[in-house]
Amino acid sequence: MSDTSINAEMEARRVSRREFIKRVIASGAVASSASFVMGGLAGCSPRPGTVAGSVERLISLNVNGQLRRVDVLPQETLAMTLRYKLGLTGTKLSCDRAECGACTVMIEGTTYYSCSTLTHSVRNRKVTTIEGLRGPNGELHPVQQAFVDELGPQCGFCTPGQVVAAVALLQKNPRPTREEARHAMSGNLCRCGAYDNYLNAIMRAAGNTAEIHHGA
């Protein structure tokens, strides 16, 4: 084969390869454009037109008496939403597997571990965090004040969850016995071991001073 023929064949291959690459890029661009357009249309379309199994990401949450719009991932926990989307860092993340109670919040007056509660499951329900317990002028909730008076917080990390759990208890049972309070608070761990201080605080907040036990 002559040099001219070889050169012609090589040039043909280069052209063929160039055309191939161009076609691949072009087809990819078309596919991306179609995906973008269809995705955009799907995002703007009414809910009946959404893909089966998908969830609406921009939702409204009633948190501490305020309606908040927030972009939520399908498997996002309420603790993550509160802390990192809404800036409510009083809700603490500790065990992250529903064992310690540091992330306790109230939903419609009932305590929940927010680290194991999906945000999408609480829509249309009222969520109360530790920040929502303060008074209109920023004053402490009576339970918070009682915790201070009885030296409840030690390191303080579990305290927000303890306070929320105590408030939920007293809303349902304003005059619990010490044993009833102990049972109700059993889902909130204190790694500093200040359980008696917390129980004393609940007794004080309930006005049940006869059951405040101070050690020697």
Contact 152, 197 (CB under 8 A): yes
134-216 architecture in CATH?
Answer: Orthogonal Bundle (1.10)
Give the pLDDT confidence score for residue 68 in this predicted structure: 96
Give the pLDDT confidence score for residue 168 in this predicted structure: 98
Give the pLDDT confidence score for residue 214 in this predicted structure: 85
What whole-number distance in Å separates Cα of residue 106 and Cα of residue 198? 19
Residue-wise pLDDT for 119-166, tens only, equals 999 998 999 999 999 999 999 999 999 999 999 999 999 999 999 999
55-130 architecture in CATH?
Answer: Roll (3.10)
Give the pLDDT confidence score for residue 128 in this predicted structure: 98
Q: With CA atoms as reference, report the closest residue to 71 among 117, 120, 125, 126.
A: 120
Inter-CA distances, 87 with 37, 67, 81, 96, Å: 33, 14, 8, 18
Backbone angles phi, psi at 47, to 5 degrees: -55, -35
Domain range annotation of the chain: 3-49, 55-130, 134-216
Residue-wise pLDDT for 67-85, tens only, equals 999 999 999 999 999 999 9
